[in-house]
Amino acid sequence: MSVVVPECCDDLKRERGRCLFNKEELTNILDGGPKLTEKRRRIEKMLINTPELFDDVSPDYLSHEDRYSNELRKATQLMTTLEKNGFTYNDAVTTGTGLWLLMDGNPLSLHISMFLDTIKGQSNPQQLQEWLPLAEKFKIIGTYAQTELGHGTFVRGLETTATYDSTTKEFVLHSPTITATKWWPGALGKTSNHAVVMAQLYLGGKCYGPHIFMVQLRDLETHRTLPGIVVGEIGPRLGMNSNDNGFLQFNHHRIPLTNMFMKHSQVTEDGKYVKPLHSKLSYGTMVQTRVGIVYHASRELSRALIIAIRYSAVRHQSEMVPGDPEPQILDYQTQQYKLLPHLASFFALRFSARALLEVFIGTSAGLGSGKMNMLPELHALSSGLKAVATNDAVKGTDICRLACGGHGYLSSSNLPRIYTAIAAGITYEGENTVLFLQVARYLIKSFRASSQGQTLPFSVSYLRVQPPSSHAPLMSDRGLVDALGAGVRWMVGEAERRLQQLVDSGHSPHAAWNACSVHLVQCADAHTRYYICEQFVDAVSKLGETVSSGVHEVLRQLCRLYILHRVIQTAGILLRCGAVDGKALTSIEEEECHLLATLRIQAVSIVDAIDIKDVFLKSTLGAWDGNVYQRIYEEAQKSPLNKSDVTQGYYQYLRPLMKANL
Ligand SMILES: CCCCCCCC(=O)SCCNC(=O)CCNC(=O)[C@H](O)C(C)(C)COP(=O)(O)OP(=O)(O)OC[C@H]1O[C@@H](n2cnc3c(N)ncnc32)[C@H](O)[C@@H]1OP(=O)(O)O
Ligand SMILES: Cc1cc2nc3c(=O)[nH]c(=O)nc-3n(C[C@H](O)[C@H](O)[C@H](O)COP(=O)(O)OP(=O)(O)OC[C@H]3O[C@@H](n4cnc5c(N)ncnc54)[C@H](O)[C@@H]3O)c2cc1C
């Protein structure tokens, strides 16, 4: 654990002395209210008082096997600690705290998330009664096994088969080819004894597409793999190496009929198929996980920002004015430009994640009473936000690393680990380009529906062919967001025009789609960012009535920075569609620079208000006291290479080389 230093360094003391807002109030807003802050802190206190949850040795110095065992030890300890103290694992996930103690990937995370969510969301009442208590009490441990060696994105292309045998009332699971091998599922390699498996359903020789099955993989006493199943771990990865991502093959493995998840579609004993109300309901766990990833991405980005901004206030380098003392690097405008727009992004993503969660809850309630109409909107929003959130968190985290210079490259800064953990989010749960193309499909469909006079759902209503003209002055927040909306409308209209032109000149619709897909991805990205801007502006204006003026001012500035930055990033489009002119852009650029300087003054206090304790930041550079150099030095002493003055390598290799007659 970190070195205890009672006071923070002078630099940080000075920064904190300039705070013009109530930090606790901002913390409460980020948590979702004072009660949630209080609950988070209770969880944190309990975790901090559990020494078994902390590492004596950094995972960097452990073997692959020891890393896995170590994280498994902590993961199981975490579950029992939470349970004993009356909390759920979900409590630890939603606050981020639990995850951050598991530095190298949590071997129980797939059980807690996608396995449990599938049981809850895809089971009929009997299945729910049978499986949920077992899974909640860890009597069975599972994962979500969908991706195969040959297919991850294209779920309809999966090759694992589940063929119904009506004579025995069983499904026969089989992996007919090497590419049908399940590959990647977290915790599949060594931890799980069960998996929910996505496989092609075959009834009477006919394929009914991907369906989900509960499959036991290992004996519940010996943990040995069951006959007809081959399972193992896939080997080292860029990060999260203790998640035992695994492979799985079936050799005509039989499971009972009742192990097909039957909430939405059913197979009768005599092998008849009952269709679901909507063909994509079996993708529900993926949608739910995407909603959660938006929060996850914002939390990881916030850790990187706390580290980089505190460090930037402590680090002094170069001369701004010849002969003057070396300034804090945070005083350089370029450093502010690297970090502060990402700080604004964190807030934007946090508010959007909340808005998305509300859409998810509303849609789920609708599904419960058979209403499917909000599903396409939820799919588009969750896909777009998952993609933007992970793209931005990865980019932002890497910028934070770069902004810390050489020390950002140290493992002990924790920035490399935050980066590799969140980098996986671009690929998993729907690769981002692919998700953007799903959003684009929705945009084009909506645009065409609007041309035919149909009313559009709320998130795309601004795309209607004849939108009401904006009354807000251009340079107001609302005016600039309206300009961004006009830009997206122009982009989508342009995409539609190009698609149509290609079709008219003889291309098939699918070929035309591929030929426009770069532009279509840009439309999806721009649409999602417009949505994020809207959510940010709405959230800040709603909060305006309830929060103190200091907090409101900081939020307003962050929101403004987010919008200005977005306008500058989209300048080409906005100029082309006439939403802004060159003069407006010049003043927006000037305002952004001015705002950077204003926000810089409070930057340390803003990241303090995110309120992540040192034990969860796990960074030599980002600790609350700013005692950076001492920490870096002390961490280096822990390197096993420093245990002896002369290493074995010297006698084995170096000395012989020096003695050789070369
Ligand atoms: C803690 C968390 C840890 C997480 C660890 C990571 C775990 C994982 O990675 S698990 C594996 C995740 N895998 C994925 O996400 C795979 C991504 N791929 C997919 O989701 C699908 O293949 C997808 C959506 C790309 C295409 O689906 P496909 O069935 O081919 O549909 P497609 O033909 O493109 O579209 C047909 C219609 O269905 C709609 N549709 C597709 N998916 C959905 C959905 N989920 N909900 C509603 N509608 C949907 C489309 O919008 C389209 O509608 P329309 O015809 O009106 O335009
Ligand atoms: C750390 C990690 C954990 C994971 N955990 C799990 C898990 O628990 N369970 C599970 O089932 N899976 C898991 N996965 C697998 C993950 O869901 C897939 O890797 C992901 O869905 C992407 O699929 P793919 O690997 O087939 O990529 P591909 O689809 O092969 O992507 C390769 C490239 O092709 C492009 N591409 C593919 N299709 C299209 C298209 N239609 N249009 C344009 N471009 C396209 C992509 O944009 C990308 O650039 C995990 C993956 C990782 C990295």
For residues 99 and 113, what is the distance between their CA atoms, to the nearest angstrom? 12
Residue 269 sits in the same domain as residue 248:
yes
53, 142: one domain: no
Return d(Cα 77, Cα 55) in angstroms, integer: 13
Domain membership of residue 438 (yes or no) is yes
In a domain, 18, yes or no: yes
- Are 413 and 560 in a shared domain? no
Domain end point (choices 256, 275, 294) = 275
Query: Could you tell me if residue 661 is inside a domain?
Result: no
**How many angstroms does the Cα of residue 436 sit away from the middle of ligand 2?**
13
Among 25, 159, 429, 534, the one annotated catalytic: 429
Give the Cα separation of 97 and 54 in Å (integer).
Answer: 13
CA 429–ligand 2 middle distance (angstroms): 7
90 and 155 part of one domain: no
Per the annotation, does 147 bind a ligand?
yes
End-to-end CA distance of the chain: 48
- Scanning 428-548, the segments in alpha helix (DSSP H) are 432-451, 477-504, 509-515, 517-543
Residue 388 and residue 359 share a domain = yes
| Residues 422 and 351 placed together within one structural domain of the fold | yes
**DSSP H stretches of helix in 32-184:** 34-48, 64-84, 89-95, 97-101, 109-110, 116-122, 125-136
* pTM score, whole prediction: 0.97
Asked if the interface predicted TM-score (ipTM) of this complex is over 0.85, the answer is yes
495 and 508 housed in the same domain: yes
- What DSSP element (H or E) covers 203? strand 194-203
Residues 423 and 439 in one domain: no
Instruction: Tell me the CA–centroid distance for residue 154 and ligand 2, in Å.
Output: 9
Is residue 215 domain-resident? yes
Q: Ligand 1: list residues with CB < 6 Å.
A: 109, 113, 144, 146-147, 152-156, 186, 280, 283, 286-287, 289, 375-376, 379, 428-430, 434, 438, 441, 445
Same domain membership, residue 416 and residue 310: yes
Residue 575 contacts by C-beta under 8 Å, 6 or more apart in sequence?
Answer: 581, 582, 585
Q: Which of 603, 635, 655 is the last residue before a domain boundary? A: 603
The answer to the question of residue 122 being in a domain is yes
Residues of the chain with pLDDT under 50: 1-3, 5
Work out the number of other CB atoms within 10 angstroms of the CB of residue 557.
Answer: 18
Q: What is the 3-state secondary structure of 300-364?
A: HHHHHHHHHHHHHHHCECCCCCCCCCCCEHHHCHHHHHHHHHHHHHHHHHHHHHHHHHHHHHHHH
Cα 428 to averaged position of ligand 2 atoms, centre (Å): 6
Tokens standing for residue 162: 């589940």
The pLDDT tens digits for 517-535 are 999 999 999 999 999 999 9
Q: Which of 207, 277, 291, 438 for mutating ligand 1's site (highest number of atoms within 8 Å of CB)? A: 438
Pocket mutation for ligand 2, best pick of 113, 240, 427 (most atoms within 8 Å of C-beta): 427
What is the domain range of residue 136? 111-275
How many structural domains comprise the chain?
Answer: 3
Name the strand (E) or helix (H) holding 411.
none
Would you say 174 and 251 are in contact if contact means Cβ atoms under 8 Å apart? Answer: yes
Q: What is the pLDDT of residue 2?
A: 47
**pLDDT, position 104:** 86
Catalytic residue at 148?
Answer: no
Choose one of 581, 603, 625: the last residue of a domain. 603
CATH number at residue 210: 2.40.110.10
Counting Cα atoms < 13 Å in the Cβ hemisphere of 493 gives: 17
Asked whether residue 439 falls in the same domain as residue 525, the answer is yes
Testing ligand 1's pocket by substitution, the residue of 155, 188, 445, 499 carrying the most ligand atoms inside 8 A of its CB is: 155
- Ligand 2, atom 49: nearest CA belongs to which residue? 433
The amino acid occupying position 77 is: Q
Cα–Cα distances (Å) from 67 to 188, 378, 629, in that order, read 16, 38, 27
CATH (domain of 22): 1.20.140.10
Q: 404: buried, middle or exposed (CB in 10 Å: 19+, 13-18, 0-12)?
A: buried
Joined tokens for residue 549:
């003026």
If asked whether residues 159 and 271 sit together in one domain, one would say: yes
Asked if the structure places residue 566 within a domain, the reply is yes
CA angle 131, 132, 133 (to 5 degrees): 100
